[in-house]
Amino acid sequence: MDKQANQDQQQQQQQQNEQHQFQDPSTPSLATIRTLFGSTVSSCYRLRDLGSDFGFFFFFPDLCIRVEGVYRLRFTVTRVSGYVARCPDAMHSSALATVVSEPFRSYNPREFPGMRESSELVHHFFRQGVPLPVRTKLRNRK
């Protein structure tokens, strides 16, 4: 591995560590905390998009990030096969596709600007039976 690639890898690892750790004021060491909460798996839904074309969609309506910052999520679609209840080690999975989200910001609760109205796409999927929280009215933040 050349020197530049090694430096890039070290810098990327350092950034990942900074995103997933915080300085605990009660101890001089770094403590790792769980950052992502909610259901991190989803079944596939075959639905029509806004253009009336069929597609396959995955939903994560209860994901929550506990630590303020800018994040990207990596989603991997896998095929799981061979699961036997008595022998979970026999389960095999293979990645079919991986995609990384656009960067987004997680807010400190005091700085959170409030929920936005749900998009037309969310309403469209909700009408097709997907159990999603739909917001139609905005409440003024105090």
The whole-angstrom separation of Cα 24 and Cα 35 is 15
Q: Which residues are within 8 A (CB) of 120 and not within 5 positions of it... i.e. 6 or more apart? A: 50
pTM above 0.75, yes or no: no
Write the DSSP assignment of 34-50 as a string of letters.
--EES------EEEE-T
Q: What is the pLDDT of residues 63-90, one digit of tens each?
A: 999 899 999 999 999 887 765 555 656 5
DSSP designation for 129: T
Identify the H or E element spanning 22.
Answer: strand 21-23
Judge whether 125 and 57 are in contact, CB under 8 Å: yes
